[in-house]
Chain A
Amino acid sequence: MSMLTRTAGYGPENARTRTVREPLMSRMAATLVMAVFTLYFLIPLWWLFVASTKSRGQMASTAGLWFADWQLWENLQYVFTYDGGVYLRWLANAVLYAGVGALLGTLLASMCGYALAKYAFRGRNLLFNVILGGVLVPVTALALPLFLIFSAVDLTNTYWAVFLPSLVSPFGVYLSRIYAAASVPGELLEAARLDGSGEVRTFFTVSMRLMAPALVTVFLFQFVTIWNNFFLPLVMLSDDKLYPVTLGLYAWNSQTNAVPELRTAVVVGAFVAVVPLILAFLGLQRFWRSGLAAGGVKA
C-alpha cells in the first residue's frame, strides 16, 4: 500500500525527508570515524611542521606536538647553507628530474597514446598490449639492469642516468589513449585534413589543446612516479651533487648517528621538500579525480 502512495508522485519528497531523518547515531558515528582518520593523516605532518620550528635540544626535550622557542628561520638558514648549500642543489635536481622529465614524458606519451587512439596501423594492438604490460612492470625491477646497461656505456653517475629512464611512462600512454579517444572527435581531424593541415601539425595545434586537461593528469602521475623513484637514483648516482632531494635526505639521515646535528637538517629539509608538493597536489586535486575516474572506469 505504502509502495503505491510513494510511486504515485510522493517519491522525491519522501526521499528528501529520508535524507533529513538520517539517524543522529549514524551521523555521529560517521563524523567520529572521519575525525579519527583526519588526526591519523594530519598529526604526522603537524609534527613535522612543529619540529621544524625548534632547536635541536628542544626537539627532543619539549612536547612534540606543540611549539617551543620559534627557531624556524635559523633552521632554514642552517639547512640551506649546510655543506656549501647542497640542499638547494638537491631541490633543483629534483625539479629537473621530476619536472622536466614529466613534462617531456607527457609529451611523448600523449603523442603515442593519440596515435594509438586515432590511427589504424599494422601492429597497433600488439604495440598497445606490450605497453600495457609495461604498466605492470614496477620501476624498481628495472633499476638494476638499467644500471648495468648504463655502466656499459659509461653513463652511470650522470644526470642522464636518472633523467632518461624517467621519460618513459606506459601508464601515461594508456591514459592518453583513453583521453584522445574520448575528447578528440574524428570529424575534427577530417576537417583539419580538408583544410590541408598535416597530421602531425594537427596534433600539436588542435588535438593537444583538446586533450590539455587530461594531459595535466598524465603529467601529475608521472611527476609523482619520478619524484618517488628512490631505487634508480640510489643505484645510479654516487656523486651527491646529482642527488634528487629524497636521496639527499636519505643520505643525511644515514649520517645522523655520526653527526647528530644533521637531525635538524633532515627534519627541516623534509618539511621544506613536502610543503610545495602538498600545496600543488591539493590545488590540482580535480585533475587527479578526473584522471582516476577515467582510468578506473575503463578498468
Chain B
Amino acid sequence: MTTTGPAATAARTARGAPARRRRSSHGGAVAVLVSPFLVLFALFYLAPIAYAAYRSFFVVEREGTFGAATEVFGGFAQYRQVFENDAFWASLGRVLLFGVVQVPVMLGIALLLALLIDSTLVKGKRFYRLAFFAPYAVPSVIAAIMWGFLYSPSLSPFEVVTSNVDLLGSSLVLWSIANVVTWVYIGYNMLIIYSALQAIPQDIYEAARIDGAGQLRIALSVKIPLVIPALVLTGVFSIIGTLQLLTEPQVFRTFTTSVSSTFTPNLLVYTTSTVPNFNLAAAFSVVLALLTFVLSFVFLRLTQRRAFQ
C-alpha cells in the first residue's frame, strides 16, 4: 500500500479529499478541538517571537552616567551593533564550519548503517538497530558530561590518547563537541532513513536483481534515490540544530576554558542576556532565526524537494 513518498502522499490526499469537499457545519467542535492548542501556541510560540522582534528595536538611554535607564525606540540601532559585532560573526563562522563537516559525516554514516542493516550482508539486525539507537535516549546534557569525562586526561579510559592529544584544547574542542553530537544523533537519523528504506516495496529489488544488479548497485541506484526525501528531512533538522548549538558547548565550559562565552551564536545570546542587555540579545536572536530560516530554505531549494506540504 505505502509505496514511495509521492505515491503515498497522493494516496493519502485522495483518501482525505472527500472529507475536505464536504462542507461541514461543525464550527463549534472545531473550536473546541483547536483552541486549546492554538491559545498555547499563540502564547508560547508566536508571542515570544513577536516580543523578541519588538524588543530588538529598543535601546537603553541614561541621563548622565548614573541616571535612571529608560528604554527608547532606537530603530535599527541594535542591528547595527549586531553587524559590527565581531564575536557574533566569529561564532557564526564556527558553527557553519562545524555544520559543513559534522552534518555530512553524521548523515553519511547514518545512511551507510541504514543501508547495511537493510541489506542481506549482516546478521543480527535487531541488535544493531537497538545498539545504534540507544545513544539517542541519552539527553544532550548527560551525553556532553559523559564525553567530557572521557576526554579528560585524568579520568578517561583512553589515557593513551588523552594524555597525548588535548581533546579539550582550543584547536580540537570544536571537533570534540562534534563527536558528541554525532554520537547522539547518528542512530536517530539512521532510523529515519531505515524507515524510508523499509517502505520501498520488495519487488523493485526483485526487478533490479533480475536485471543483474548486485547489492552495491541496488543500494546506489535504487535505494539511495528513493530515500532522498528522508535525507533532506534529516538534513534540514541537522542544519537547524547546528545553528542553535548550545547545550554541549555550555556543558563543556565546565571541563575546559577553551570554550569561550561567545563560542556559538546561542551562547553569545545567553551571555549578552545575562549582562543584561536583552535588546541586543533579542536582535542577535532575530538575526540568527532569520539566518536559520534562510539556510533551511536554500537547502530545500538546492535539493529540489518539498520537505513539507
Contact = CB atoms under 8 A, between A and B. Distances in A.
Q: Do A and B bind each other?
A: yes
Contacts of B72: none
Given A121-B24, A235-B273, A293-B199, 19 more contacts: A30-B116, A37-B186, A41-B132, A44-B146, A48-B146, A115-B34, A116-B34, A117-B16, A119-B26, A121-B26, A127-B38, A136-B240, A186-B18, A200-B33, A228-B247, A231-B247, A293-B195, A296-B195, A297-B229
B47 A149 contact: yes
A37 B44 CA distance: 40
Q: Is the interface of B mostly helix, strand, loop or mixed?
A: helix
B34 A127 contact: yes
A274 B42 CA distance: 34
A3 B43 CA distance: 65
Contact of B120 (A22, A137, A148, A234): A22
Given A144-B285, A282-B130, A168 B141 contact: no
Contact of B142 (A137, A181, A246): A246
A299 B232 contact: yes
Interface in A274-290: 274, 277-278, 280-282, 285, 288-290
Interface in A226-251: 227-228, 230-231, 234-235, 246-247, 249-250
B244 A140 contact: yes
Contact of A146 (B44, B130, B149, B278): B44
A206 interface: no
A31 to B, nearest CB: 6
Interface stretch (A70-78, A81-89, A265-273): A265-273
A227 B139 contact: yes
A212 interface: no
A227 B184 CA distance: 14
B83 interface: no
A205 interface: no
B138 A274 contact: yes
Contact of B128 (A34, A165, A270): A34
A30 B187 CA distance: 17
A32 to B, nearest CB: 10
Contacts of B308: 132, 135, 174, 299
A40 B273 CA distance: 38
Contacts of B18: 186
B40 A136 contact: no
Contacts of B198: 289, 293
A149 B32 CA distance: 26
Contacts of B98: none
Interface stretch (B85-93, B153-161, B164-172): B153-161
A299 B229 CA distance: 6
A230 B250 contact: yes
Interface in B19-40: 19-24, 26-30, 32-34, 36-38, 40
Contacts of B186: 37, 41
B156 A64 contact: yes
A38 B150 contact: no
Contacts of A147: 273
Interface residues of A, number: 111
19 contacts: A19-B120, A30-B119, A31-B123, A51-B149, A112-B34, A120-B24, A121-B27, A131-B41, A141-B285, A144-B52, A144-B278, A199-B28, A230-B247, A246-B139, A250-B145, A266-B145, A280-B137, A295-B192, A299-B5
Contacts of B41: 131, 134, 168, 170
A116 B37 CA distance: 12
Contacts of B135: 41, 44-45
Q: Is the interface of A mostly helix, strand, loop or mixed?
A: helix
Q: How large is the interface on B (under 10, 10 to 19, 20 to 34, 35 or more residues)?
A: 35 or more
Contacts of B292: 136, 138, 141
Interface stretch (B7-15, B60-68, B100-108): B7-15
A40 B134 CA distance: 12
Nearest to A121: B30
A198 interface: yes
B178 interface: no
Contacts of A118: 19
Given A137-B49, A299-B229, A165 B44 contact: yes
Contacts of B191: 285, 288-289, 292
A289 B120 contact: no
Interface in A106-162: 108-109, 111-112, 114-121, 127, 130-132, 134-138, 140-142, 144-149
Nearest to B286: A141
B233 interface: yes
B220 to A, nearest CB: 14
Contact of B5 (A140, A148, A288, A297): A297
Interface in A4-61: 6-7, 11-12, 14-15, 18-19, 22, 26-27, 30-31, 33-34, 37-38, 40-42, 44-45, 47-48, 51, 59-60
Contacts of B138: 45, 274, 277-278
Query: Which of B24, B40, B139, B145 gathers the greatest number of chain A CB atoms within 10 Å?
Result: B139
Nearest to A43: B157
A255 B51 CA distance: 35
B266 interface: yes
Given A112-B33, A281-B134, A134 B142 contact: no
